[in-house]
Structure 1
Amino acid sequence: MRTLKTALLAAVLLAAGAARAAPPLTVGTEGTYAPFTFFDQAKNLTGYDVEVMKEVGKRAGYDVKFVPTPWDSMFLALESRKFDLIANQIAKTPEREKKYAFTAPYLVSGAQIIVRGDRKDIHGLDDLRGKRVGTGVGSNYTKLLEEYNKTHSPKIELKYYEGNLPVVLQDIAAGRLDATVNDRLTAGYNAKQLKIDVKLVGEPIELVPSHFVVRKDAAGEAVAKKVDQALASLRQDGTLEKLSKSWFGADYTK
């Protein structure tokens, strides 16, 4: 009789434990975009976005599972429910807002011109006219340059890359490109890792908040609400600022 009671008690405890288990939250991320999402030398997924999302999961009560996904299929994979949320330093655009829902911002990056260390002739977008500029296919920085070209002549000569910033920076250092426009944080991190002589010039062209992205439906917006509550908590107790300083050397969260 005691054995049966013990077994029943164990079953009840297991059921209670299962009921308390954190619900899963699957998160799409590139894993190739340092310092926001990448695999370190020990093959562990890390980066600012990854570490923020881990903290969000703790505060929001989610069991976060990351799904490494190529950039060119990221949004399609979200739509097809391969994951619940994208964490990949994504900015809002009018086109994206029509199709997706966004959380509150967790970082404010800056689009800035990057040139070789010995260049002294480039300080702003007007100085890029007639020069060869590398840019990633489909990125916000590419759209910025393409919009500039619509109203200026001579145009900036754009050379398109498949989102591989380290190659772009290496081509700038080697003289194959004159410049690029990209995130100031990403460029600085990659230049340091590659040990190449490139520099940021001029003021940021624009400041761009980064958001996590979910599907634009009831379930997605429910996730966004819980994530926003967790981000507010991280901001209030200084955790978000601490993570920014750890990865970038300064607070870029506001």
Structure 2
Amino acid sequence: MNCAFTISGVIAATTLGIASAHADLLEDIKEEGVFTVGTEARFAPFEFVEDGEIVGYSADIMAEIMPELEGVELERKDLPWQGILPGLEREQFDYVVTSVTATPERMERYHLSAPIADATMAVMTRADDDSVESPEDITGKTAGAQAGSAQLEALEAYSESLDEGVSTIETYTSVDEAYADLGNGRVDVVINSLPNLMEAERTRPDTFKVIGTFGDPVYFSWAGRDDDESESLNTFMDEQIQRLNEDGTLAELQEKWFGDTMDLPMELPEPDVE
């Protein structure tokens, strides 16, 4: 009897091991008919809510991709940025469809997709503030950035590289809160990606002005888990983004949402790690 239990246990463990070895997230999505993604719909013009719907550049990209998943419904989970990557790790959703700045640390921890947009860091101040004419002029200023973001890390590193850095850094759950404080004079500058700041300036030209960029070129990607189960989904999403880049669809959507196009590589450049 004990021997039978032991053999059964071995068979069960072996069967479980075989099932795990063949786990395939893309096939699971097709079988279940639902593709669940995490997004931060407070990051215009990439993702934001309009008339109760999530719209924007990333939403339009997904609208081009979903027909390739015939019979699959897209389900979005809208979360603050601070919960996006932890939520991916905890398997709260299949994939991240929001603007993830590609940093060496993230490239090592996650599978970051082919680039979807430029994410080079830039500085924005108030339209009537003539004391900030270049990124170097943030010296002694109060600066704002989104908590937990690559933009915050870039601000901290850039500030340290100056002879005299910023006086204070204020952090925010969303960039909209940072923009509000900038407009109200509670901070002197806000650091974000150039496309986002250009959108803020475009919609409120009497309030904001973009000063310039700093640092090396950076790109926005989407993200998947870096494991065997997710490999098929990651490959599928990369191929779809590259297809849209190659056939000019991304350029058309960039013109629609940013008023200009971006020169994007087909793959993320290898991180420059010293």
Return the TM-score normalized by structure 1: 0.82
- Segments of 4+ in structure 1 off by > 6 A? none
Give the C-alpha shift of residue 46 in structure 1. 0.9
Distance 1:229 1:211, change over 3 A: same
The reply on whether 1:212 has 2:225 as its aligned counterpart is: no
Match of 2:62 among 22, 39, 53: 53
Matching of residues 33-112 of structure 1 within 5 Å = 33-40=43-50, 42-59=51-68, 61=70, 62-112=72-122
Q: Deviations for 1:145-184, whole angstroms, at most 9, x for unmatched residues?
A: 2113334442212332323323322332333222111122
SS at match of 1:169: helix
Query: Separation in 1 of the partners of 2:139 and 2:235?
Result: 44
Q: Which residue of 2 aligns with 1:221?
A: 231
**Are 1:141 and 2:151 an aligned pair?**
yes
Give, in angstroms, the shift of residue 204 of structure 1: 4.9
- Contact 2:143-2:169 within 8 A present in 1 as well: yes
Kept in 2, the 8 Å contact 1:170–1:196? The answer is no
Would the alpha carbon gap of residues 167 and 191 (structure 1) be closer, same or farther in structure 2, given more than 3 Å must change?
farther
1:122 aligns with 2:160: no
Distance 1:152 1:242 in 2: 38
What's the CA shift for 1:104?
A: 0.8
In structure 2, what is the equivalent of residue 175 of structure 1? 185
Q: Which residue of 1 aligns with 2:198?
A: 188
Q: Please report the RMSD computed on the Cα atoms of aligned residues, expressed in angstroms.
A: 2.3
* Contact 2:118/2:194 (<8 A) preserved: no
The answer for unaligned runs of 5 or more in structure 1 is 1-19
Shift of 1:195: 6.3
Aligned residue for 2:172? 162
Identical positions, percent: 25
The one-letter code sitting in structure 2 at the alignment partner of 1:26 is T
Q: Is the 8 A contact 2:42 2:176 kept in 1?
A: no
Structure 1 range deviating more: 142-151 or 207-216 = 142-151
User: Which amino acid counterpart does residue 221 of structure 1 have in structure 2?
Assistant: E
Deviations 1:63-92 (A, max 9, x none): 422111221111111111111111111112
Report the alpha carbon displacement of residue 53 of structure 1 after superposing the two structures with TM: 2.0
CA distance in 2, matches of 1:251, 1:37: 18
